[in-house]
Amino acid sequence: MSDAKPKVAFYWCSSCGGCEESIVDLAEDILKVVAAVDIVFWPVALDFKKKDVEAMADGSIAVSFINGAIRLSEQEEMVKLLRKKSQLIVAHGSCSHLGGIPGLGNFWNKETIFRRAYLSTPSTENPDQTVPLEKTVLQDGKELTLPTFFDTVYALDQVIDVDYYLPGCAPPRDLILSAVSAILEGKLPPKGSVLAPNKSECDTCDRNKTKPEKLAIKEIKRTWEVVLDPEKCFLAQGVICLGPATRDGCGHRCINGNMPCRGCFGPTDQIYDQGAKFLSALASILDTNDEKEIDKIVGSIVDPAGTFYRFSLPKSILGRRRMEDIK
């Protein structure tokens, strides 16, 4: 077997599997990809033992695509190992890029999550108050282990050095294909780049032309309380849409499903904190200077942090809710 083909690996951390699915959705195109590379490591499909990866020479894997957020000790160990063995690491999907939906766990901690899952949910019958333990010793002395569950969820680059980011939940097909081609052809942008255009969504959104000259709204509407107009800009309808603070490149799939954007592509290059940027944008379009009216409108916005940071909580400037605040 020829050794000329670059070695590629895929790994998943705290992931839903959607990014793995997105590889399969390349459908017929995947065969071209598979023919061009040597997949040496894909836990869902190939024999994998940590020892095998450890045995590989450092830097012998050309590129590793890692999806999922870091939530467990096992995931941290694996990604650190892959970093050693790979020339390039691509953070694949929102979770590894920004923390993703699992990042919402950063409003809580291990104790509250365990308490809910194993003790307080109405269907759980647990008179002994059993919770998962890192080490269980069975009656006959045998030990069973589980990896450590962290208090905080991390994006990939908070744990290892990342070379490129493929954004989206899940990344769209054409973005993956162009990223893979760029890697195979060696035509990559500077290290640390997000492999998607550096513009906000509104730039290419079809509904942009329906925005009035000056966008100013007097009321915020939640998606349950109105029939969403299939053509008008959501913000112009008073519906929160994170388009202005979100990077372009997704193809506006959610918008085409007649639902507003929730920011899965993350911010553009110039922004540190996507949620804060969106907050600014929203504040700018509120059509009032009267403090009482401002209070009223702002009061009607529910769950601002969970909405503005829906996908990016771990990568936000604050990163997580203050531990002392959690009871």
Partner 1 sequence: MNNSTFEPRLVGFLCNWCSYTGADLAGTARMTYAPNLRIIRVMCTGRVDPQFVLKAFKEGADGVLISGCHPGDCHYQEGNYKALRRYKLLSRVLEQFGIEKERFRLEWVSASEGVKFQQVCNDFTEQVRRLGPLNLSRNGGKNE
Partner 2 sequence: MTQRITIDPITRLEGHGKIEIFLNDQGDVDRAILQIPELKGFEQFAVGRPVEEMPRITPRICGVCPTAHHMASTKAVDAVFHVEPTPTARKLRELIYNTFMMEDHTLHFFFLGGPDFVVGPQASPAERNILGVIGKVGLEIGGKVIRVRRECRDIISYLCGKVIHPVSCVPGGISKGLDEEHRLKFLETAKFAVEFAQFALQIFDDVVLKNKEYVDLVLGDAYTMRTYYMGLVDKNNRVNFYDGDVRVVTPQGKEFAKFRPSEYLEHIAEHVESWSYIKFPFLKKVGWKGFIEGESSGVYRVAPLARLNASDGMATPLAQKEHDRMYSTLGGKPAHNTLAFHWARLIEALQAAETMVALLEDKSITDTNLRNIPTQTPSEGVGIVEAPRGVLIHHYKTDERAIVQEANLIVATVGNSAAINMSIEKAAKAFIKKGQISEGLLNMAEMAFRPYDPCHACGTHALPGEMPLIINIYARNGELVRQFKRSFAPDGSDSVE
Least Å from the CB of residue 135 to partner 2: 9
Beta strand spans in 264-306 (E): none
Q: Does 215 bind partner 1 (CB under 8 A)?
A: no
Our CA angle for 14, 16, 22, nearest 5°, is 120
Cβ contact 221:228 at 8 Å: no
List of residues 6+ apart from 80 with CB closer than 8 A: 159, 160
3-state secondary structure of 212: coil
Q: Does 60 bind partner 2 (CB under 8 A)?
A: no
Find the binder of partner 2 among 79, 88, 196, 255 (CB under 8 A): 255
Cα end-to-end distance, the chain, whole Å? 58
- Measured CA to CA, the distance from residue 69 to residue 55 in angstroms comes to 25
Least Å from the CB of residue 100 to partner 1: 16
Least Å from the CB of residue 299 to partner 1: 8
List of residues 6+ apart from 55 with CB closer than 8 A: none
Find the binder of partner 1 among 71, 207, 277, 310 (CB under 8 A): 277
- Measured CA to CA, the distance from residue 71 to residue 78 in angstroms comes to 12
Find the binder of partner 2 among 59, 60, 77, 132 (CB under 8 A): 132
Least Å from the CB of residue 320 to partner 1: 5
Q: Does 125 bind partner 1 (CB under 8 A)?
A: no
Find the binder of partner 1 among 111, 117, 189, 272 (CB under 8 A): 272
- Measured CA to CA, the distance from residue 22 to residue 44 in angstroms comes to 14
Judged by CB under 8 A, which stretch of 26-34, 35-43, 177-185, 297-305 contacts partner 1? Answer: 297-305
Least Å from the CB of residue 23 to partner 1: 28
Cβ contact 220:240 at 8 Å: yes
Find the binder of partner 2 among 3, 28, 291, 324 (CB under 8 A): 28
Least Å from the CB of residue 16 to partner 1: 22
- Measured CA to CA, the distance from residue 97 to residue 15 in angstroms comes to 12
Q: Does 74 bind partner 1 (CB under 8 A)?
A: no
User: What separation in angstroms does the CA of 179 have from each of 87, 118, 184, 192?
Assistant: 16, 41, 9, 13
Q: Does 150 bind partner 2 (CB under 8 A)?
A: no
Q: Does 238 bind partner 1 (CB under 8 A)?
A: no
3-state secondary structure of 69: strand
According to DSSP, residue 217 is labeled B
Paired residues of 91 in beta bridges: 66, 165
Interaction residues for partner 2, span 162-221 (CB under 8 A): 169-170
Q: Does 298 bind partner 1 (CB under 8 A)?
A: yes
Residue type, 9: A
Q: Does 296 bind partner 2 (CB under 8 A)?
A: no
Find the binder of partner 1 among 151, 177, 211, 252 (CB under 8 A): 151
Q: Does 113 bind partner 2 (CB under 8 A)?
A: yes
Instruction: Summarize as ranges the residues that interact with partner 1 (CB under 8 A).
Output: 106-107, 151-152, 154, 158-159, 271-273, 275-277, 279-280, 282-284, 286, 289, 291, 294-295, 298, 301, 303-306, 308, 314, 316-326
